[in-house]
DNA sequence: TCAGATGAATCTACACCGTAGACATTCGGG
DNA sequence: CCCGAATGTCTACGGTGTAGATTCATCTGA
């Protein structure tokens, strides 16, 4: 083993994550990250084959704060707790939120969380064949909610335009209160929807 | 009005869409699109302020093929039909699928589809305040499914790794058949889950 | 008929990006 | 002592989005 590395893969992800938090996603270029580490841009390629691979690792690292669910709670609470924790962790690092949304991390953290999800869903009484599918569905929903949050600010106006459609519907009640796109409230609503669906399916599977 | 424009905004989106279908998403650079139209790259900026804005328009245009739902069907069928149509339209243009997934289009087509969704959900018996929230949830889920489809090929291996977690669970049945990430089957499953959730909520709202 | 206005299309140029490929450096083991 | 080998560095290339100035074709009013 020649020349002990002065730069570990973890150093890189940690620094990149901080940089992304501080200056936004588009600041996480190879050159900027290297500058932050005070090393040559090309050195990063010793640890990650691509910029893509590096960002995957950074996104995964951002989920390290997500803890294990409490095994004593009923599955629905565990599920909400877990998914909320992931959402919070992702939003706490705005620089990588978009990346997490676009391609849910499957690094060590991602796999750990997926395992926890599967473990929780195993207690729902859902047919075994459906557990993994449900996991994917939940991850997909979570990812999408994050994507909505990322662009919420820029797009709320256009959503408002969509929402007026409802007001003009026969029987629709105009003057409804605003539903903020990507809000925590909105996330929780969809989650309850999904959990109700799981409950309905696990009780008596339909179709 | 001096000098009639030889280049319309729609020309651009149509050409860019074709180019993206033929050569992939990363081929849709300003220069390549301009080359395809046989004009100067900078000319595109007369019609779209950004590359971003241009791609938004292209993504929206890709949804033009989605038809209006049949008002005679029950709402659940209308919903599945509509969402499936959007999914098909998006997948038929692989060059923009990722973009559609990342930021659901809110151009004319997107708004038309959102309106159709709202119209359908208005018949569910769902509390009025929840209709728009459910719309957002469904769009989020659809977007997420598309995102999964995009990267399915590259990531199935790692998903396989996740799936083995389930096999090792006490009471888990190893040797389960493979669930292909982003497949139509997977999409349909989550959709049924959501519809069951809607049904449960519209019957007797819980919480 | 012709100057001028007006906006579309173009040209040039800049700063920046990811990264291939050759090179230098620094260590442990024989 | 030297050699193999992995790490860090340097240079350079082809590409990107797009700002700013400029050309050009057309319509208008005199």
- pLDDT score recorded for residue A120: 95
Which of B132, B148, B192 comes nearest A179 by C-beta? Answer: B132
User: Residues A56-73: pLDDT tens digits?
Assistant: 999 999 999 999 999 899
Residue with token string 């926890």: A116
Question: In degrees rounded to 5, what are phi and psi of residue B122?
Answer: -65, -20
User: Residues A7-45: pLDDT tens digits?
Assistant: 899 999 999 999 999 999 999 999 999 999 999 999 999
Task: Give me the B residues in range 16-45 that sit within 7 A (CB) of strand C.
Answer: 39-40, 42-43, 45
DSSP state, residue B149: H
Query: How many cross-chain Cβ pairs, A to B, lie less than 8 Å apart?
Result: 187
Q: Based on the number of CB atoms within 10 Å of its own CB, is A171 exposed (0-12), middle (13-18) or buried (19 or more)?
A: exposed
- pLDDT score recorded for residue B11: 96
Give the end-to-end CA distance of chain B in Å, rounded to a whole number: 61
The total of other beta-carbon atoms located within 10 Å of residue B171's CB is 7
The total of other beta-carbon atoms located within 10 Å of residue B110's CB is 22
The total of other beta-carbon atoms located within 10 Å of residue A121's CB is 25
Task: Give me the B residues in range 14-33 that sit within 7 A (CB) of strand D.
Answer: 29-32
Considering only residues A172 and A160, tell me which one the structure prediction assigns the higher pLDDT: A160
Q: At what angle do helices A9-23 and A51-61 cross, to 10 degrees?
A: 80
**Domains located in chain B, CATH noted:** 9-61 (1.10.10.60), 75-203 (1.10.357.10)
| pLDDT exceeds 50 at position A206 | no
Considering only residues A102 and B14, tell me which one the structure prediction assigns the higher pLDDT: B14
Q: Is the CB of A9 under 7 A from strand D?
A: no
Mean pLDDT in chain A?
A: 88
Mean pLDDT in chain B?
A: 87
State the sign of the Cα–Cα–Cα–Cα dihedral B190, B193, B198, B199.
Answer: positive
3-state SS record for B64-112: CCCCCCCCCCCHHHHHHHHHHHHHHHHHCCHHHHHHHHHCCCCCHHHHH
| Contact assignment for A169 to B206 by CB distance below 8 Å | no
The total of other beta-carbon atoms located within 10 Å of residue B55's CB is 23
* Nearest CA-CA distance, residue B38 and chain A, Å: 31
User: Residues B126-156: pLDDT tens digits?
Assistant: 988 889 889 989 998 999 899 888 877 666 5
Nearest nucleotide to B6, CA against C1' atoms: C8
Rounded mean pLDDT, B33-51: 97
- Cα–Cα nearest to A140, from B23, B7, B93, B182: B182
User: Residues B63-76: pLDDT tens digits?
Assistant: 999 999 998 999 99
Q: Which of A141-150, B70-79, B109-118, B147-156 has the lowest mean pLDDT?
A: B147-156
Which of B134, B140, B181 comes nearest A141 by C-beta? Answer: B140
The total of other beta-carbon atoms located within 10 Å of residue B107's CB is 16
C-alpha span between B162 and A114 (Å, rounded): 7
In the structure, what pLDDT confidence band is assigned to residue B207 with cuts at 50, 70 and 90? very low
């Amino acid at each position: 083993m020649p020349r002990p590395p002065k730069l570990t893969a973890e150093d890189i992800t940690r620094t990149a994550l901080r940089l992304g938090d501080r200056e936004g996603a588009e600041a996480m270029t190879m050159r900027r990250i290297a500058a932050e580490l005070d090393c040559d841009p090309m050195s990063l390629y010793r640890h990650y084959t691509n910029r893509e691979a590096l960002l995957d690792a950074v996104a995964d690292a951002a989920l390290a704060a997500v803890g294990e669910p409490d095994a004593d709670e009923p599955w629905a609470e565990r599920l909400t707790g877990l998914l909320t924790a992931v959402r919070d962790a992702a939003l706490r690092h705005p620089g990588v939120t978009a990346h997490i949304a676009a391609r849910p991390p499957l690094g060590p953290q991602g796999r750990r969380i997926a395992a926890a999800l599967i473990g929780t869903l195993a207690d729902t009484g859902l047919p075994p064949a459906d557990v993994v599918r449900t996991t994917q569905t939940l991850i997909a929903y979570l990812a999408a909610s994050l994507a909505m949050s990322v662009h919420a600010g820029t797009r709320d106006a256009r959503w408002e335009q969509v929402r007026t459609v409802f007001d003009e519907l026969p029987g629709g009640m105009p003057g409804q209160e605003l539903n903020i796109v990507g809000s925590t409230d909105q996330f929780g609503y969809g989650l309850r929807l999904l959990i109700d669906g799981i409950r309905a399916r696990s009780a008596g599977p339909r179709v």
